[in-house]
Chain A
Protein backbone atom coordinates (compact mmCIF):
# COMPACT_ATOMS: atom_id res chain seq x y z
CA UNK A 1 0.00 0.00 0.00
CA UNK A 2 1.30 3.44 -0.90
CA UNK A 3 0.30 6.92 0.21
CA UNK A 4 -1.43 8.28 3.27
CA UNK A 5 -5.21 7.92 3.56
CA UNK A 6 -7.40 9.98 5.89
CA UNK A 7 -11.04 9.58 6.86
CA UNK A 8 -13.53 11.09 6.86
CA UNK A 9 -12.89 13.82 4.29
CA UNK A 10 -15.39 16.22 5.85
CA UNK A 11 -17.44 16.32 9.03
CA UNK A 12 -19.50 18.77 11.03
CA UNK A 13 -19.64 18.66 14.82
CA UNK A 14 -21.32 20.71 17.52
CA UNK A 15 -19.33 22.66 20.08
CA UNK A 16 -18.60 20.48 23.13
CA UNK A 17 -18.70 17.20 21.22
CA UNK A 18 -15.82 14.79 20.70
CA UNK A 19 -14.35 13.71 17.36
CA UNK A 20 -12.01 10.99 16.11
CA UNK A 21 -10.08 11.40 12.88
CA UNK A 22 -8.31 8.46 11.27
CA UNK A 23 -5.19 8.02 9.20
CA UNK A 24 -3.64 5.08 7.44
CA UNK A 25 0.06 5.75 7.00
CA UNK A 26 2.34 4.68 4.21
CA UNK A 27 3.58 1.13 4.71
CA UNK A 28 6.98 1.01 6.43
CA UNK A 29 6.65 4.53 7.82
CA UNK A 30 6.94 4.18 11.60
CA UNK A 31 6.52 7.89 12.31
CA UNK A 32 3.16 9.64 12.05
CA UNK A 33 2.42 13.29 12.73
CA UNK A 34 -0.74 15.35 12.87
CA UNK A 35 -1.08 18.99 11.84
CA UNK A 36 -3.85 21.57 12.05
CA UNK A 37 -4.24 24.05 9.23
CA UNK A 38 -6.53 27.04 9.71
CA UNK A 39 -7.77 28.86 6.63
CA UNK A 40 -5.04 30.94 5.01
CA UNK A 41 -2.30 29.71 7.32
CA UNK A 42 0.45 27.13 7.23
CA UNK A 43 -0.05 23.83 9.06
CA UNK A 44 0.70 23.81 12.79
CA UNK A 45 2.28 20.76 14.45
CA UNK A 46 0.00 18.97 16.93
CA UNK A 47 2.01 15.86 17.87
CA UNK A 48 4.09 13.00 16.54
CA UNK A 49 4.11 9.28 17.26
CA UNK A 50 7.03 6.94 16.73
CA UNK A 51 6.49 3.22 17.18
CA UNK A 52 3.21 3.84 19.05
CA UNK A 53 4.71 6.31 21.54
CA UNK A 54 4.21 10.08 21.49
CA UNK A 55 7.64 11.64 21.03
CA UNK A 56 6.86 15.27 20.32
CA UNK A 57 4.01 17.70 20.92
CA UNK A 58 3.22 21.19 19.75
CA UNK A 59 1.38 23.95 21.56
CA UNK A 60 -1.99 22.20 21.77
CA UNK A 61 -4.03 21.47 24.92
CA UNK A 62 -4.43 17.95 26.36
CA UNK A 63 -7.90 17.62 24.85
CA UNK A 64 -6.01 16.84 21.64
CA UNK A 65 -4.80 13.26 21.96
CA UNK A 66 -3.72 10.48 19.66
CA UNK A 67 -2.95 6.85 19.14
CA UNK A 68 -0.73 4.95 16.73
CA UNK A 69 -1.33 1.28 15.98
CA UNK A 70 1.07 -1.48 14.82
CA UNK A 71 -0.58 -1.62 11.40
CA UNK A 72 0.60 1.95 10.55
CA UNK A 73 -2.81 3.45 11.28
CA UNK A 74 -3.38 6.26 13.76
CA UNK A 75 -6.10 8.41 15.31
CA UNK A 76 -6.45 12.00 16.39
CA UNK A 77 -9.04 12.58 19.12
CA UNK A 78 -10.32 15.99 20.10
CA UNK A 79 -12.55 16.39 23.15
CA UNK A 80 -14.78 19.32 24.12
CA UNK A 81 -14.72 20.81 20.64
CA UNK A 82 -14.47 24.59 20.32
CA UNK A 83 -15.37 26.78 17.38
CA UNK A 84 -11.66 27.55 16.83
CA UNK A 85 -11.01 23.85 16.24
CA UNK A 86 -12.57 24.27 12.80
CA UNK A 87 -9.70 23.56 10.41
CA UNK A 88 -8.14 21.11 7.98
CA UNK A 89 -6.43 18.30 9.88
CA UNK A 90 -3.53 16.69 8.10
CA UNK A 91 -1.80 13.41 8.82
CA UNK A 92 1.77 12.84 7.66
CA UNK A 93 4.06 9.84 7.77
CA UNK A 94 7.80 9.48 7.46
CA UNK A 95 10.44 6.80 7.38
CA UNK A 96 13.08 9.25 8.55
CA UNK A 97 13.46 11.53 5.54
CA UNK A 98 10.74 13.63 4.00
CA UNK A 99 7.09 13.57 4.96
CA UNK A 100 4.14 12.25 2.96
CA UNK A 101 0.83 13.94 3.69
CA UNK A 102 -2.73 12.75 3.34
CA UNK A 103 -5.54 14.74 1.76
CA UNK A 104 -6.81 15.89 5.13
CA UNK A 105 -10.08 15.98 7.06
CA UNK A 106 -12.05 19.22 6.99
CA UNK A 107 -13.62 19.67 10.45
CA UNK A 108 -16.30 22.29 10.98
CA UNK A 109 -17.47 23.02 14.53
CA UNK A 110 -20.80 24.82 14.82
Chain B
Protein backbone atom coordinates (compact mmCIF):
# COMPACT_ATOMS: atom_id res chain seq x y z
CA UNK B 1 0.00 0.00 0.00
CA UNK B 2 1.35 3.38 -1.03
CA UNK B 3 2.00 5.76 1.87
CA UNK B 4 2.59 9.45 1.16
CA UNK B 5 4.04 11.76 3.79
CA UNK B 6 4.41 15.53 3.67
CA UNK B 7 6.73 17.44 5.93
CA UNK B 8 6.29 19.92 7.49
CA UNK B 9 2.57 19.87 8.25
CA UNK B 10 2.53 23.66 8.53
CA UNK B 11 4.88 26.48 7.60
CA UNK B 12 4.80 30.23 8.24
CA UNK B 13 7.22 32.54 6.43
CA UNK B 14 7.60 36.28 5.77
CA UNK B 15 6.80 37.55 2.31
CA UNK B 16 9.68 37.17 -0.13
CA UNK B 17 11.17 34.08 1.44
CA UNK B 18 11.57 30.93 -0.65
CA UNK B 19 9.42 27.93 0.28
CA UNK B 20 10.54 24.29 0.31
CA UNK B 21 7.86 21.63 0.68
CA UNK B 22 8.74 17.96 0.95
CA UNK B 23 6.87 14.83 -0.09
CA UNK B 24 7.94 11.22 0.35
CA UNK B 25 6.32 8.00 -0.83
CA UNK B 26 6.95 4.36 -0.04
CA UNK B 27 6.42 2.58 -3.38
CA UNK B 28 8.55 3.84 -6.28
CA UNK B 29 6.37 2.09 -8.91
CA UNK B 30 4.49 5.24 -9.87
CA UNK B 31 3.31 6.67 -13.18
CA UNK B 32 3.61 10.28 -12.14
CA UNK B 33 3.48 12.73 -9.25
CA UNK B 34 1.25 15.77 -9.12
CA UNK B 35 1.37 18.80 -6.83
CA UNK B 36 -1.91 20.53 -6.00
CA UNK B 37 -2.95 23.67 -4.19
CA UNK B 38 -6.08 23.77 -2.04
CA UNK B 39 -7.64 26.90 -0.59
CA UNK B 40 -9.83 26.47 2.53
CA UNK B 41 -13.02 24.56 1.73
CA UNK B 42 -12.24 24.50 -1.99
CA UNK B 43 -11.27 21.93 -4.58
CA UNK B 44 -7.78 21.10 -5.82
CA UNK B 45 -5.88 23.17 -8.35
CA UNK B 46 -3.12 21.35 -10.22
CA UNK B 47 0.24 23.09 -10.03
CA UNK B 48 2.74 20.72 -11.60
CA UNK B 49 2.73 17.21 -13.06
CA UNK B 50 5.97 15.22 -13.18
CA UNK B 51 6.05 12.00 -15.18
CA UNK B 52 7.98 9.11 -13.64
CA UNK B 53 10.72 9.48 -16.29
CA UNK B 54 11.25 13.17 -15.50
CA UNK B 55 13.46 14.75 -12.85
CA UNK B 56 11.76 18.12 -12.55
CA UNK B 57 9.11 20.50 -13.83
CA UNK B 58 8.93 24.26 -13.69
CA UNK B 59 6.12 26.76 -13.99
CA UNK B 60 6.81 30.39 -13.21
CA UNK B 61 7.95 30.67 -9.58
CA UNK B 62 7.27 26.97 -8.98
CA UNK B 63 9.74 24.15 -9.44
CA UNK B 64 9.20 20.53 -8.49
CA UNK B 65 11.80 17.77 -8.44
CA UNK B 66 11.28 14.03 -8.40
CA UNK B 67 13.68 11.33 -7.22
CA UNK B 68 11.67 8.19 -7.84
CA UNK B 69 14.32 5.77 -6.62
CA UNK B 70 14.44 7.38 -3.20
CA UNK B 71 10.70 8.11 -3.11
CA UNK B 72 10.98 11.87 -2.77
CA UNK B 73 9.69 15.04 -4.36
CA UNK B 74 10.26 18.65 -3.42
CA UNK B 75 8.22 21.69 -4.38
CA UNK B 76 10.08 24.99 -4.41
CA UNK B 77 8.19 28.28 -4.48
CA UNK B 78 10.42 31.28 -5.09
CA UNK B 79 9.83 34.73 -3.60
CA UNK B 80 6.68 33.85 -1.72
CA UNK B 81 3.68 36.18 -1.68
CA UNK B 82 0.66 36.39 0.66
CA UNK B 83 -1.45 34.94 -2.17
CA UNK B 84 0.60 31.74 -1.92
CA UNK B 85 -1.03 31.01 1.44
CA UNK B 86 -2.85 27.69 1.02
CA UNK B 87 -2.49 23.97 1.62
CA UNK B 88 -0.21 22.14 -0.80
CA UNK B 89 -0.83 18.48 -1.50
CA UNK B 90 1.30 15.99 -3.35
CA UNK B 91 -0.21 12.90 -4.95
CA UNK B 92 1.37 9.89 -6.60
CA UNK B 93 -0.41 7.92 -9.27
CA UNK B 94 -0.28 4.16 -9.56
CA UNK B 95 -2.43 1.93 -11.79
CA UNK B 96 -5.74 3.65 -11.27
CA UNK B 97 -5.65 6.04 -8.38
CA UNK B 98 -3.92 8.93 -6.70
CA UNK B 99 -2.53 8.53 -3.20
CA UNK B 100 -2.30 11.80 -1.33
CA UNK B 101 -0.31 13.16 1.53
CA UNK B 102 -2.08 15.13 4.26
CA UNK B 103 -0.66 18.38 2.91
CA UNK B 104 1.49 21.26 4.07
CA UNK B 105 -0.39 24.39 5.14
CA UNK B 106 1.56 27.49 4.18
CA UNK B 107 1.05 30.97 5.60
CA UNK B 108 2.95 33.84 3.99
CA UNK B 109 3.01 36.91 6.26
CA UNK B 110 2.91 40.34 4.63
Residues on A close to B: CB < 8 A? 6, 33, 35, 40-45, 48, 55-56, 58, 88, 90, 92, 97-104, 106
CA A103 – CA B102 in complex, angstroms?
18
Contacts of A58 in B (CB 8 A): 97
A90 touching B43, Cβ below 8 Å? yes
What are 29 A-B pairs with beta-carbon distances under 8 A?
A33-B97, A41-B102, A42-B100, A42-B102, A42-B103, A43-B44, A43-B100, A45-B97, A45-B99, A48-B96, A48-B97, A55-B96, A56-B97, A88-B41, A90-B43, A92-B98, A98-B32, A98-B34, A98-B49, A99-B34, A99-B46, A99-B93, A99-B98, A100-B46, A101-B45, A101-B46, A103-B42, A104-B43, A106-B41
Confirm or deny: B106 has a beta carbon within 8 angstroms of a beta carbon on chain A.
no
Q: CB within 8 Å of A: which of B13-57?
A: 32, 34, 36, 41-46, 49
Binding site for A on B (CB under 8 A): 4, 32, 34, 36, 41-46, 49, 89, 91, 93, 95-103
